[in-house]
Amino acid sequence: MIQILTPDGVRRDDDRFPLDVTHDELRGMYREMVVTRRVDAEATALQRQGELGLWAPSQGQEAAQVASVRAFAASDMLFPSYREHGVALARGVRPAELLSLFRGASHGGWNIAERRLNTYTIVLAAQLLHAVGYAMGVQRDDAREVVGVYFGDGSTSQGDANEAFNWASATDAPVVFCLQNNQYAISVPVGKQSPVPLHRRAEGFGFPGVRVDGNDVLAVLAVTRWAVERARAGEGPSLIESFTYRMGPHTTSDDPRRYREPGELEHWRALDPIERLRRHLDAEQLADESFYAAVEADATEVAAAVREACLRLEPVGPFPVFTAG
């Protein structure tokens, strides 16, 4: 597993994945992770108060999202599943747009072409075929674009994922498969789904697969940049398995106490991606109390705006989906 930032926040570079990262980028990732977590907490509270039909929490997976999306060019097209709130916010999706699907107030949420981000996809692994098809189109347009697709460990058990891997490999499609292994498909642990570590699946399809510490922003950033560069240079697809953990429930309809092992949550809490980067910022004296206070203030402001915007969203009926515009 590729790790650059140790759990106590010490940077140990890996020659295979050299990384140039500025202090501003480090602080930026910290800020984005904190804001993502706060939006996620606010949305969870809104669901508990009856304002959203459902919510899929992202707590714990912030590094795997925020660092990954940074490795792509703003013009590269991305395909999320339904838990990629850090990716969506980084792509400029407004919090109200993000919540609208979960409130039944839209059939999608945002303008795909503007954000360069497809709508959330609930049908597991369908977005892998969408992404590979799109990447094959990009390749035929000679567009030098790269496509990124996000999905979970459970989704790799779907036929769609395996068809997508094969098409991507057979056509050398410029696609990066961003797998967040958060250890569970709802209540089913990853070990029950796959006897083989997931990144090793790629080898069987004929392209590289790398497992990274998904709670380490530096490892995720370095390896995703490597994969994006490969794809842009015409060298084909790669699979990145970000080894992480979903700290909350699968969705607000789930109770993880029914299937987690004792001590599991505590183990992963100690590996919290936000705390890990903070330890690094502190040790390197890259951030002071005024920085953290400003980030907190930002997060509080965004959370208040999320709530206000959510309460103003009106339900939408089924018919607009059949009409243009």
Ligand X SMILES: Cc1ncc(C[n+]2csc(CCOP(=O)(O)OP(=O)(O)O)c2C)c(N)n1
**Comparing C-alpha atoms, which of 312, 310, 302 is closest to residue 89?**
302
Residue nearer to ligand X on the CB measure, 139 or 180: 180
* By the rule CB under 6 A, 214 interacts with ligand X: no
**198 makes contact with ligand X (CB under 6 A):** no
Task: Give the integer Cα–Cα distance in Å for 11 and 9.
Answer: 6
Q: Which of residues 152-171 bind ligand X (CB under 6 A)?
A: 152-155
Residue nearest ligand X, Cβ-based: 152
- Using CB under 6 A, which of 73, 74, 186, 294 touches ligand X? 186
Q: How far apart are CB 196 and ligand X at their closest, in Å?
A: 16
109 binds ligand X (CB under 6 A): no
- By annotation, the residues acting in catalysis are 246, 250, 259
Q: Quote the tokens at residue 34.
A: 């904190």
For position 100 contacting ligand X by CB under 6 A, the verdict is no
Number of shown-chain residues binding ligand X (CB under 6 A): 15
- For 221-230, give one letter per residue: b (16+ CB within 10 A) or e: bbbbbbbbeb
Choose the binding region for ligand X from 145-153, 166-174, 254-262, 289-297 (rule: CB under 6 A). Answer: 145-153
Decide if residue 311 touches ligand X (CB under 6 A).
no
* Residue 323, φ and ψ in degrees, nearest 5: -110, 150
Backbone conformation region of residue 28, classed left if phi is above 0, alpha if psi is from -120 to 50, else beta: alpha
Q: Does 83 bind ligand X (CB under 6 A)?
A: yes
- Asked if 250 interacts with ligand X (CB under 6 A), we say yes
Kind plus residue range of the DSSP H or E element containing 295: helix 289-312
Neighbour tally for 50: CB within 10 Å? 7
Stretch that binds ligand X, among 149-157, 215-223, 236-244, 259-267 (CB under 6 A): 149-157
SS3 213: strand
Element (H, E) at 185: strand 184-185
Residues in touch with ligand X (CB under 6 A): 83, 122-124, 151-155, 182, 184-186, 246, 250
